[in-house]
Amino acid sequence: MKRTMWPRIAVIAAAALLVAAACSSTATPAPGSASPASPAASAPASPAAPASPGASAVASVGASAPAGSAPAASAAGPSQATLRVGWSSEPDTMNPLTTFSTEANEVLQLVYDKLLGYSTDLTPEPELAASWETAPDGLSTTYHLQPGATWQDGQPVTSEDVAYTFKTIKDDSLGAYAQWLGDYVGADTPDPQTVVLRYAKPQAFDPALAIPILPKHIWSTMDAKAIQTFTNDQPVGSGPFKLAGWKQGETVTLERNDAFWGTPPVPARIIYILYGSEDVEAQALKNGDVDVLTEVPPTVWDGLVGATNVKAVRLPSFSFHHIGFNVSDDPGSKGNPLLRDPVIRQALSAAVDRNQLVQIALAGKGMPGSTLVPAGLGEWHLDIPADKLLDANPEKAKQLLDAAGYTDRNGDGIRESADGKPLEFRLIAIESTGVDVRAAQLFRDAAQAVGIKLDLATLDENTLGSTVYNTTNPDWDIFVWGWDSAVHDPDYMLGVPLCSQIGGNNDVFYCDKAYDALYAQQATTLDPVARKALVDQMQQMFYDAAPYIVMWYQDKLQAYRTDTWTGWQESPGGLVFNFTRDNYLKVAPAQ
């Protein structure tokens, strides 16, 4: 998901779980995050993040309860306590099919259920599906729904809701979820509690781990156009919490769903509190005004280490920050058409020093970036040889530009194209994300050193998001933003630049049919070694085309009070702001 930079939302690998597509008398997960190492072994973890006072790093994922078992309940029962969460950006919408922000996804994963979820050790666990089994040929998975599950308006949850959700996303290519349904054939609903999802080919990743199930009786009253403009201000889900209020610019409040099918969450409510300043947010934690922070900038995080009743944690993440180029060739695009030339993008990639970005903007709490798949996904990440990297090489940048005919023709220090158009571009970043603003400044200076002028402006996140994702008339040139992977598998990030995701996740309007073909192939390749080769090829192709400059893979820096809530489980990807919701359900008030 897109970060506030997911604020669409890495450094240490968590092992990827290979799930066999085989029928069993006990519930088994459908194909999930297969390790590229071997069918029998999980991917080895990447080197652990450097230790620092007060920080902890989760180096790998350990064994979990048998697949299909219910999530472990908290030892504490339901309380009347409020969990207060501090963040620096707020949701863009409450529509799960149109959101681009990690904040919205964070809230909506507590309101809506998926069929399957992730535990804190990132292994699949039941959500709306109490159990499931995959057919021997891998072409279908049967999900048995939680008995007694109801929507928050009192209507029963049935297999028809699941079938409707998948069909609507597939037929109308709605949102980022459509990338997983290219081979989806349809659903059988033999009874209200059973749904069989069928595919033309076996799936390497099970979409049930990602797609929120929607109530048919509400959403089926709208056509695709109406869904795309639906704000969903009063979402009706089946999850553990329900939306009680959203004061835009201030707070989002969730209340426990007393009719939830599962173990009741311990917190009675969750309040997300918006702070305009990262320093004020950190001070609020020290003062006891909030209980946990979704993300903490590196220099601010250092100030929380050792603070009274505060624990600052440094965890692996599945995130990166990047520089994105508007490469749209649509006649309505208002982006500078010079950026369609990959030579200019490659030169800018070569000009910027990613290690400098990490050391200055991140205070060393991350690693230099390169490809689209975060380093936190372990062996799925392609390591590009040092001599093939476009990084920290301004002379190489100048050579590329000279060879392509971009020279300074009038002596003003800015290169021009052969027809006299200056290499001058607009650069935008999120004003509340200090690391991105600092990175943008360093990028601007690196570009200037090779004869390219960047005019930097800062915007609030939702304004930047609506500017970037304006598919009709995208009026921007270059942005600094970032991504959090929405699942524990490379498939999500690989799907971002698909042609079909223009209007969805695709934030730079990149489109390459050869890339799309490789995506479709890897999505149905169950052998992890063969799939790894395809995933590597895709990463190299996208890196060479350079619609992104991946600046870094950051550590997930968070902090929480130790005297208000206890039982936080440190998980790869974060305590919160992660694709597991378990900590929200299980933390308990401190005694």
What's residue 590's pLDDT?
96
| pLDDT score, position 75 | 66
- Region for 359 from its dihedrals, namely left if φ exceeds 0, alpha if ψ lies in -120 to 50, beta otherwise: alpha
Q: Which pLDDT does position 432 carry in this prediction? A: 85
Which helix (H) or strand (E) is 441 found in, with range?
Answer: helix 434-449
The answer as to whether 41 is a domain residue is no
Q: What is the DSSP letter of 542?
A: H
Tell me the CA distances in angstroms from 150 to 121, 141, 147, one per residue in order: 28, 22, 9
| 515 and 419 assigned to the same domain | yes
Chunked mean pLDDT (size 10), the chain, 591 residues: 41 30 35 41 31 29 34 76 96 94 95 97 96 97 97 98 98 92 97 98 97 98 96 98 98 98 98 94 98 95 97 96 97 97 98 98 96 96 96 98 98 97 98 93 98 97 92 96 94 97 95 98 97 98 98 97 98 95 97 80
Residue at a domain's end among 233, 266, 294: 233
449 to 91, 325, 397, 484: CA distances (angstroms):
37, 19, 10, 31
> Is the domain of 402 the same as that of 528?
yes
Q: Which helix (H) or strand (E) holds 556?
A: strand 556-561
Total-model pTM: 0.85
- pLDDT at residue 461, rounded to an integer: 86
* Residue 183 shares a structural domain with residue 300: no
| Residues 6 or more apart whose Cβ sits within 8 Å of residue 335 | 326, 327, 328, 474, 475, 476, 477
What is the domain-level CATH number for residue 102? 3.40.190.10
Q: What is the pLDDT of residue 175?
A: 85
- The CATH number for 509's domain is 3.10.105.10
The residue segments making up the domain with residue 409 are 319-554
SS3 225: helix
Would you say residue 16 lies in a domain?
no
Domain identity same for 339 and 480: yes
Residue 105 contacts residue 99 (beta carbons within 8 Å): yes
Which of 199, 216, 233 terminates a domain? The answer is 233
Q: What is the pLDDT of residue 74?
A: 62
CATH code assigned at 229: 3.90.76.10
The pLDDT value given to residue 162: 98
Examine the domain organization and report whether 134 and 106 are in the same domain: no
Q: Which of 476, 486, 539 is nearest to 508 (CA)?
A: 476
Among candidate residues 233, 259, 278, the one where a domain is terminated = 233
